[in-house]
Structure 1
Amino acid sequence: MEWLSWACGGGCDRYSDGKRSIDHAPFTEDLSMQPHFAVSTDATLPLHIVEEATLRDQLAALSPAVATWATGMGFTGAWGQVLVLPGADGGLAGALLGAGSAAARRRNRFLLAAGAAKLPEASFALAADLPADLSTEVECFGWLMAQYAFDRYATAKGAKAQLVAPEGIDVARVEAMAAGECLTRTLINTPAEDMGPADLQAAVEALAAQHGAEVSTILGDDLLAQNFPLIHTVGRASDRAPRLIDMRWGHEGPRLTLVGKGVCFDTGGLNLKPGASMALMKKDMGGSANVLGLAHMLMATGQNLQLRVLIPAVENAVSGPAFRPGDILPSRKGLTVEINNTDAEGRLVLADALTLAAEETPDLLISMATLTGAARVAVGADLAPFFTDHEADALTLADSALRAGDPVWRLPFHDPYEAMIEPGIADLDNAPAGGFAGAITAALFLRRFAGAARYMHFDIFGWSQSAQPGRSKGGLGQGTRALFAALPELLATSGAAK
């Protein structure tokens, strides 16, 4: 395996790191995707937002010609309906975008993104304020995300219409959120052939270089030498070396640690998944993609904090060294874990990383993972369930999620279920029998490794199953913008919450 010796430092001599027949460029180029607002010029066109209830009055206020044109073209002001207005010279004079009714707006998200996808390639500016029940910041974020397209392997294009930032919004903040979300989506969308543990490490290093952060990585068998046995065990069956990636940024302010699940592909191990269940397992590193997107938002906006990002990056493969059902494994914390399902591997790699994070007692510790199907059964694909023992934190996050248009829902750390993860033969069970409360028992398992840290866990889906306004089909950030909005308050109260 001499060809990989430059990366191993002696710690992964038995890994080939998934040598491929075709050379693939390191994952760095997509980190530069930074959606921006347009600059206002004489060519900028007005975009009129029209509600159904006030359609007639709004059209009359524009001009009789516009009213006649809109009526003749069947424009009703329905949510997301677009009508381009012709100019006297044969060009464009602007456009109408239907805002529908208040009820329609509650059932849909990202009105401006819906319009951007239908508008021609031109620069637009809002001609008036949005309806009071819509957030201008959220809607502008949605417009920028309508421009996203994953085009690494085939030609793909997002919306070409540009938006001039409305007065009063924090342009740098919204652009940072959009860039972070683009990073998250592209990381998840990239197939495992090009997004193995080494590629994920390269993406972290590229992000760190962009923001002046520092990265260190514990690789291969060095994980055993430095007491990360669960990360090593889950990844040892793959020819791609398991690793723990550690990024730090900032030297002042409260300490925030983000831990993201980095299972770059999950076969299920010896508890092999059926083919249909394996189809989307490239997204099993969605937790790491989400924390990296959030990290970009925080660093790009210069937040006053000490940020640490920990990513246990592995591939859960099947080969001779694969760990087995019935095995009892040690952890960094000293707790033993009985393996009753090798497909419940995410909580294992997170356990060692959370233990490390808790050793320096950050002011706030957050984990994000595509962890359980039970969470999807409970709340579906669109909501991001989260767990916390701190009532004030839950209220802050819920309020921020509403303002950010990034829905989350609290599930409980239900202490009476602790017995379900205690098998008797070992300290903990990684997959309790019975099938009930799977998301909660997984969260309780992780909490055992978070120590005394103030802890919050997200069990996300990380995927949009169909194309929707501002959300192309594929990888998706969930909970990150809610956290980005909530973190100033959460960290400001860190001393009291402890």
Structure 2
Amino acid sequence: MTLSFAPSSDASVPLQVIAQPDLDDWLAGQPEAVTTWAKISGFTGALGQVLLIPGADGAVQSALAGYGTATGRARKRFPLAAAAEALPEGTYHIASGIDQADLETECLGWLLTGYAFDRYASQSPAKARLVAPDGIDAARLEVLAGAEALTRDLVNTPASDMGPEQLHSAAEALAQEFGASFEVVLGDALLEQNFPMIHTVGRAAAQAPRLIEMNWGVTGPKLTLVGKGVCFDTGGLNLKPGASMGLMKKDMGGAANVLGLARMIMALELPVQLRVLIPAVENSVAGNAFRPGDILTSRKGLTVEINNTDAEGRLVLADALALADEGEPDLVISMATLTGAARVAVGADLAPFYTDNDAAADALNRAAGRAADPVWRMPFHNPYEGLIEPGIADLDNAPAGGFAGSITAALFLRRFVGDSPYMHFDIFSWQRSKEPGRSKGGFGQGPRALLTALPEILGL
């Protein structure tokens, strides 16, 4: 699918975007026929309501799109997308009603209404196309929409067709598209090259575990992205109940979001030295699965007591983060669908993140609003460090008690990054029900905010 703007055309239909409180004033300036037609059609300006205005010859002269109230719009990520999804097939241009400050966000939302995951059954995305308004960076918005579609496709694809091998192929295809270098450490080579925890978590699966690496760019700050690629998580020997296992195809959402962000960075040619690391595994049950009570030695040399095999994501990320830190990057960002505790704390819609850098956190918070990609800072709370120290080993992968589960997971990961500036995202990457511009299923969470903030964080 191509999520792009329509070519400019004299045949495009002018779209008047009208907020509910402004409807009477707008109608007062219209011909009587238009006013009458709007009233008998019941057009109120409610969010997502649309009305086609016929001309004297019966052809569509213009269209109205309800923009609701300020309170209603504040509860939606892409308010105009509600109208875009309701409009009939055709080409439209925005004639009035959208503030310049909101224009790019609303246009991105419109583009995203064209997304559909149709690999297994036909779907019906919105068919109304938009001519890019003056004053927006249309090419950039198309890049953002394309990256979002990549992330959604990867997360939506079931594990039967998105195991470590297929995630490997998707990353390689992206590398080839942008001329990035690409390499993989596969199977027992993980042991030979000192990635023991990635190997341990993935060794029981039919598809071999692997560490995927992509490198792009030769000048600028060194930016390393690390994405959790657990393509399915049974919970291992601490087997998840069925209700908890049902969405585990999305446990590679961190990798999917990292690949979406990488695609944006490369397509927009940000002046950075980009490195992408994805530990790709499936956490399966077999005779050689790792066990509760095992003690693993990580790439960094830290020992880890396994108190729950369902806390496997932090294990594979730990080896990848240790490798990332060895390259002395200017910034390391990890993204993972890591803990249910984060969902309890902030719900499904916010992307919680951790960093010790106040300036970077402030830049990200400001960028998130502009990018319509909300985030929430969580604390690396040092007094909780003792919770991840079991005594029998350096670290505990699943501290007892369950309190502060997202924080303790983030503290665990931070142990594997030395002096490199570090930021961690504990995301959900799943839209539970359809919203304007946001189809039910996988979605990007954090990449647009990061892309918008990176120039300030890295001094680009």
**TM bracket, shorter-chain basis:** over 0.9
Structure 2 runs not aligned, ≥5 long: none
Q: Once the 2 structures are TM-superposed, how far is the Cα of residue 458 of structure 1 from its aligned partner?
A: 0.3
Q: Distance in 2 between matches of 1:87 and 1:338?
A: 74
Whether 1:185 aligns to 2:179 is: no
Which residue, 175, 179, 203 being the options, matches 2:142?
175
Q: Distance in 1 between matches of 2:52 and 2:417?
A: 55
Q: Is residue 325 of structure 2 the alignment partner of residue 358 of structure 1? A: yes
Q: How big is the shift at 1:277?
A: 0.5
Is residue 2:64 matched to residue 1:81?
Answer: no
Q: Report matched runs for 1:255-266 at 5 Å.
A: 255-266=222-233
**Pairwise CA distance, 1:54:** 1.4
Question: Once the two structures are superposed, what CA deviation does each residue of 1:123-152 show, in whole Å capped at 9, x if it has no partner?
Answer: 0000025146x6211111110100000000
Equivalent residue number for residue 116 of structure 1: 84
- Tell me the distance in 1 between the aligned counterparts of 2:229 and 2:299: 18
Deviations 1:200-239 (A, max 9, x none): 0100011111111111000000000000000000000001
Question: Could you say which residue in structure 2 is the equivalent of 1:271?
Answer: 238
Shift of 1:450: 1.4
Q: TM-score, normalised by structure 2?
A: 0.99
Distance in 2 (alpha carbons) for counterparts of 1:160 and 1:143: 10
The aligned counterpart of 2:412 is: 445
Instruction: Give 1:50's aligned residue.
Output: 18
Task: Calculate the aligned-residue CA RMSD, in Å.
Answer: 1.0
Task: Give CA-to-partner distance per residue, 1:278-308, whole Å, 9 cap, x none.
Answer: 0000000000000100111111111111111
Pairs within 5 Å for 1:121-160:
121-131=89-99, 135-160=102-127
Residue 295 (structure 2) pairs with residue 325 (structure 1):
no
For 2:88, the aligned partner's letter is P
Is the CA contact 1:172–1:301 (under 8 Å) kept in the aligned structure 2? no
TM-score (structure 1 length as normaliser): 0.91
Give me the whole-angstrom Cα distance separating, in 1, the residues matched to 2:124 and 2:168: 28
The correspondence for 1:434, drawn from 401, 407, 415, is 401
How big is the shift at 1:98?
1.1
CA contact (8 A) 2:16 2:97 kept: no
CA distance in 2 between counterparts of 1:145 and 1:62 reads 32
After superposition, residues 81-480 of structure 1 pair within 5 angstroms as 81-131=49-99, 135-480=102-447
SS of 1:66's partner is helix
Percent identity between matched residues is 67
SS in 2 for 1:271: coil
CA distance in 2, matches of 1:308, 1:129: 42
The secondary structure found in structure 2 opposite 1:162 is: strand
Q: CA deviation at 1:59?
A: 2.1
How far the C-alpha of 1:109 sits from its partner, in A, is 2.1
Matched with 1:6 is none
Structure 1 residue ranges without an equivalent (≥5): 1-32, 494-498
- 1:148–1:157 contact (8 Å) kept in structure 2: no
8 Å Cα contact 2:197-2:298 kept in structure 1: yes
CA offsets 1:451-470 (integer angstroms, 9 cap, x no match):
11100000000000001101
Summarize deviations over 1:295-325 as a string: whole Å, max 9, x none: 1111111111111110000000000110000
Separation in 1 of the partners of 2:261 and 2:55?
43
| Structure 2 letter corresponding to 1:381 | A
Instruction: Look up the SS of the partner of 2:279 in the other structure.
Output: strand
Aligned-residue offset at 1:403? 0.9
- Local SS of the residue matching 2:61: strand
1:326-378 CA distances to partner (integer Å, 9 max, x unpaired)?
00000000000000000000000000000000001111100000000000000
- Name the aligned partner's letter for residue 73 of structure 1: S
Distance between the aligned counterparts of 1:225 and 1:488, measured in 2?
38
